[in-house]
A and B are shown apart, each in its own frame.
Chain A
């Protein structure tokens, strides 16, 4: 029996897409430069369907890619032309939410923000908060070890996933980790996280939930230079403070956000730093005094403490929509994602400004300053001859800058298709060879998300 017939035996026609018009939506993800039409798309509704599909693909030697919401910014969910897309959006049940044990057991297609929404009546939330959290799925988050604005204090997805049920690329089903924050044996759930779909498909994810902090204190400081904002972050850490989030936006990013949501960012500033303290009210009250003192000494042009929950929400809304808002400034843009040691933020920003001038390409900067995670938004007009190439050249230079400064080529968007060529610049040949060996041991036929993260050896 050929694969098409076998799939038709599992899926009713409305959940087995093979016509070009139906496949179009699955050709690419949020990085639209890459585009491939797959052989077929299956819309799985049960775990067993996913397992059966993987087993069929394995038997037939056909590559497959899992897909959540397709918001990957690195081409992670782009299919192969002879491959199958296993769409998981309909596998979106919250299996169990336990307010006493503070865990949620969810299917992979559950939207990140839906977990927090379900936990909200119990005063709990799911901490990792990528800007795309209202659309991206937990399965995608697991594959990329997604981050957000709170990673220095709270960690990334890996630090919130306690257990996983996974179908390996050959169809074997395993459980990794468990339901407790403590475990015995190697942290294999922690190894599966960030594997970009190369180790198989996550079928069920157990995450921990945190109690909502009793209070937040959100402060906005503006500066006449980006570097001064970066330096303020270093001073805050040196003072022994541990804010939940520290975010920086430059003028261009602020203008975009202002135009979109009128967040009230100060006009005229070159950069703003958003700092948020969280926790017990007495504690954050005491910390606020210390934070003010540190900020006052950091040479700001303006400091503003959010006076109400609404004001706080507005400041955050501006930050969270900055990516999409930049679309108002430029017909096209590339979202770059790189990391530098936090103490080198200032150097990195100066260097990016220089590169931007050198290439004659505008860059808007939005970043998770607490953890050195840069998100330069590289603006270009695709209709203009050579503009995309110039933008890509700049994007490449920024990645090499991150490597040179001792950082990483990706903090949270993953390697995917986009950065495959750069991984060997960050790691030595021996490290790359290990990754290839591990991949082969888990997936001897290289069927799971073939072509991503690791270049296929010739």
Chain B
């Protein structure tokens, strides 16, 4: 097994080309699963992207940033924050080592996706190295662009199977002036689901809406002009129909951290199941036997933390006609539930990885 950590895109292109025909494993920050010798066969070539780091271009007035794939997400977030901007999909960056490439490859969005969309909605261009060491660019550095195939869209969620993401361009937004979070603690899951649904359907312009099933707690975040937040919070509390605590600042950040996957132990596995609000109760019913569940993005996704093997979960999801994936821990990257029709996916993959090197 050889490991290389190319510091430039040229070196990356070279590393992919010269290691042919060895199978390739792409490693970002390793936060979805620790790199393990067990998974890596002796003949594999490991590409460690962490050295390919840095912000290539950032003009705050443009609201566009171009960044190398190995850049830690936190470093990017800090650079944006210095200019009053942010990644609106709110990637879970608690773990400082997660990289921008890993974020794109796993297609991960946080609770903030609720308002303006997820990582897929903000990637406007990319440079990627295919399985034969060819550098391919798609999109660009402007927020509106309809020229050519939009390959950068397909990289979102590609899990390292379509190519090595070398660099991406992202649209970013001005950070809201202030935020405030309502925490609604209810007595039962049914009650929590009721409050969640009322908050979702009222026209409150919420920034985030999550639900923790185990503690029957609903969290709703408001974001915007500081002088409008009192009025907006009062309205939201009225809609929640229950006593709600509000928090801001450090307490607010801590609260969201406590609701994130970071609060679940690394042991075991975290499973992601895309959902719809009307099917939410059924998805929770299906998953609850396997471990604690959290709902994020206003019911669009359920996360399950489980120590169990995946077979039963896989079967349960198939029975419900749902898709899923392991996103953290043992078996991270494994697809679960209904498998998509392969005809189109296979052709895209064969184009980018004709020799089947990406593992």
How far is A346 from B184 in the complex, measured between Cα atoms in Å? Answer: 49
Q: A348 to nearest B CB, angstroms? A: 12
Q: Kindly identify which residue among A123, A412, A441 contacts B203, using a CB–CB cutoff of 8 Å.
A: A123
Decide if B121 is an interface residue (CB 8 Å cutoff). Answer: yes
Interface window among A155-163, A246-254, A257-265, A307-315:
A155-163
Q: B202 to nearest A CB, angstroms? A: 9
Q: Report chain A residues within 8 Å CB of B60.
A: 238
| Beta-carbon contact of A410 and B146 below 8 Å | yes
| Beta-carbon contact of A286 and B227 below 8 Å | yes
Interface of B is mostly: mixed
Q: B224 to nearest A CB, angstroms? A: 4
Decide yes or no: A155 and B59 within 8 Å by CB, A101-B277, A186-B162, A341-B141 being known contacts. no
Decide yes or no: A176 and B156 within 8 Å by CB, A406-B141, A426-B147 being known contacts. no
1/0 contact trace for A279-298 toward B, CB 8 Å?
11011011100100000000
**Residues of B256-279 whose CB lies within 8 A of A:** 272, 274-279
| Beta-carbon contact of B344 and A183 below 8 Å | no
Q: Report chain A residues within 8 Å CB of B278.
A: 98, 100-101
| Beta-carbon contact of A242 and B156 below 8 Å | no
Decide if A67 is an interface residue (CB 8 Å cutoff). Answer: no
Q: Report chain B residues within 8 Å CB of A175.
A: 340-341
| Beta-carbon contact of B147 and A438 below 8 Å | no
**Residues of B204-238 whose CB lies within 8 A of A:** 204-205, 224-225, 227-228, 231-232
How far is A287 from B224 in the complex, measured between Cα atoms in Å? Answer: 9
**Which of B136, B174, B324 has the most C-beta atoms of chain A within 10 angstroms of its own C-beta?**
B136
Between A and B, 11 residue pairs with Cβ closer than 8 Å are A98-B278, A146-B146, A147-B144, A172-B343, A174-B340, A194-B149, A214-B203, A279-B205, A282-B228, A408-B144, A430-B135
Interface window among A53-61, A326-334, A366-374, A386-394:
A366-374
Decide if B134 is an interface residue (CB 8 Å cutoff). Answer: yes
How far is A103 from B274 in the complex, measured between Cα atoms in Å? Answer: 15
Decide if B64 is an interface residue (CB 8 Å cutoff). Answer: yes
Q: Report chain A residues within 8 Å CB of B145.
A: 339, 408, 410-411
Q: Kindly identify which residue among B156, B224, B225, B300 contacts A186, using a CB–CB cutoff of 8 Å.
A: B156
How far is A228 from B134 in the complex, measured between Cα atoms in Å? Answer: 44
Decide if B180 is an interface residue (CB 8 Å cutoff). Answer: no
Decide if A325 is an interface residue (CB 8 Å cutoff). Answer: no
How far is A242 from B323 in the complex, measured between Cα atoms in Å? Answer: 34
**Residues of A398-432 whose CB lies within 8 A of B:** 406-415, 419, 423, 426-428, 430-431
Q: Report chain A residues within 8 Å CB of B63.
A: 152, 237, 342
Decide if A199 is an interface residue (CB 8 Å cutoff). Answer: yes
Q: Kindly identify which residue among B138, B224, B348 contacts A283, using a CB–CB cutoff of 8 Å.
A: B224
Q: Report chain B residues within 8 Å CB of A193.
A: 150, 153
Q: Report chain A residues within 8 Å CB of B117.
A: 155, 159, 181
**Residues of B335-357 whose CB lies within 8 A of A:** 335, 340-341, 343-345, 347-348, 350-351
How far is A415 from B136 in the complex, measured between Cα atoms in Å? Answer: 19
Decide if A82 is an interface residue (CB 8 Å cutoff). Answer: no
Decide if B157 is an interface residue (CB 8 Å cutoff). Answer: yes
| Beta-carbon contact of B120 and A190 below 8 Å | yes
Decide if A453 is an interface residue (CB 8 Å cutoff). Answer: yes
| Beta-carbon contact of A174 and B344 below 8 Å | yes
| Beta-carbon contact of B344 and A176 below 8 Å | yes
| Beta-carbon contact of B347 and A185 below 8 Å | no
Decide if B15 is an interface residue (CB 8 Å cutoff). Answer: no
How far is A372 from B64 in the complex, measured between Cα atoms in Å? Answer: 12
| Beta-carbon contact of A240 and B177 below 8 Å | yes
Q: A195 to nearest B CB, angstroms? A: 6
| Beta-carbon contact of A184 and B150 below 8 Å | no
How far is A430 from B113 in the complex, measured between Cα atoms in Å? Answer: 34
Q: Which 4 A-B pairs have the closest CB atoms?
A: A190-B153, A286-B225, A240-B174, A184-B325
How far is A38 from B340 in the complex, measured between Cα atoms in Å? Answer: 36
| Beta-carbon contact of B325 and A185 below 8 Å | yes
Decide if B79 is an interface residue (CB 8 Å cutoff). Answer: no
Q: Give 6 A-B pairs besides A158-B150, A180-B274, A431-B137 with Cβ atoms closer than 8 angstroms.
A: A98-B278, A156-B144, A184-B107, A191-B348, A242-B174, A411-B142
**Number of B residues whose C-beta is below 8 Å from A?**
79
Number of A-B residue pairs having CB atoms within 8 Å of each other in the complex: 265
How far is A408 from B150 in the complex, measured between Cα atoms in Å? Answer: 13
Decide if B61 is an interface residue (CB 8 Å cutoff). Answer: yes
Q: Which residue of A lies closest to B85 (CB)?
A: A240
How far is A390 from B177 in the complex, measured between Cα atoms in Å? Answer: 50
Decide if A223 is an interface residue (CB 8 Å cutoff). Answer: no
Q: Which residue of B lies closest to A439 (CB)?
A: B149
Q: Kindly identify which residue among B173, B175, B277 contacts A100, using a CB–CB cutoff of 8 Å.
A: B277
Q: A294 to nearest B CB, angstroms? A: 12
Decide if A51 is an interface residue (CB 8 Å cutoff). Answer: no
Q: Which residue of A lies closest to B137 (CB)?
A: A431
Q: Which residue of B lies closest to A444 (CB)?
A: B347
Q: B335 to nearest A CB, angstroms? A: 6
| Beta-carbon contact of B350 and A145 below 8 Å | no
Decide if B306 is an interface residue (CB 8 Å cutoff). Answer: no
Decide if B247 is an interface residue (CB 8 Å cutoff). Answer: no
Decide if A168 is an interface residue (CB 8 Å cutoff). Answer: yes
| Beta-carbon contact of B350 and A286 below 8 Å | no
| Beta-carbon contact of B146 and A147 below 8 Å | yes
Q: Which residue of A lies closest to B83 (CB)?
A: A238
| Beta-carbon contact of A185 and B335 below 8 Å | yes
Decide if A151 is an interface residue (CB 8 Å cutoff). Answer: yes
| Beta-carbon contact of A342 and B62 below 8 Å | yes
| Beta-carbon contact of B136 and A280 below 8 Å | no
Q: B158 to nearest A CB, angstroms? A: 4
How far is A414 from B350 in the complex, measured between Cα atoms in Å? Answer: 26
| Beta-carbon contact of A101 and B276 below 8 Å | yes
Q: B55 to nearest A CB, angstroms? A: 17
| Beta-carbon contact of B344 and A408 below 8 Å | no
| Beta-carbon contact of B121 and A441 below 8 Å | no
Q: Which residue of A lies closest to B336 (CB)?
A: A184
Q: Report chain B residues within 8 Å CB of A410.
A: 145-147
Q: Which residue of B lies closest to A411 (CB)?
A: B144
Decide if A187 is an interface residue (CB 8 Å cutoff). Answer: yes
Q: Report chain A residues within 8 Å CB of B116.
A: 153
Q: B268 to nearest A CB, angstroms? A: 19
Decide if B151 is an interface residue (CB 8 Å cutoff). Answer: yes
| Beta-carbon contact of B146 and A412 below 8 Å | yes
| Beta-carbon contact of B153 and A187 below 8 Å | yes
**Residues of B165-186 whose CB lies within 8 A of A:** 173-175, 177
| Beta-carbon contact of A184 and B224 below 8 Å | no
How far is A212 from B162 in the complex, measured between Cα atoms in Å? Answer: 38
| Beta-carbon contact of B118 and A181 below 8 Å | yes
Q: Which residue of A lies closest to B344 (CB)?
A: A174
| Beta-carbon contact of A408 and B149 below 8 Å | no
Decide if B32 is an interface residue (CB 8 Å cutoff). Answer: no
Decide if A117 is an interface residue (CB 8 Å cutoff). Answer: no
Q: A16 to nearest B CB, angstroms? A: 28
Decide yes or no: A407 and B173 within 8 Å by CB, A123-B203, A168-B343, A183-B107 being known contacts. no
Q: Kindly identify which residue among B121, B147, B158 contacts A408, using a CB–CB cutoff of 8 Å.
A: B147
Decide if B140 is an interface residue (CB 8 Å cutoff). Answer: yes
Decide yes or no: A191 and B350 within 8 Å by CB, A184-B324, A184-B335 being known contacts. no
Decide if B155 is an interface residue (CB 8 Å cutoff). Answer: yes
Q: Which residue of B lies closest to A372 (CB)?
A: B142
| Beta-carbon contact of B272 and A184 below 8 Å | yes
Decide if A22 is an interface residue (CB 8 Å cutoff). Answer: no
Q: B64 to nearest A CB, angstroms? A: 7
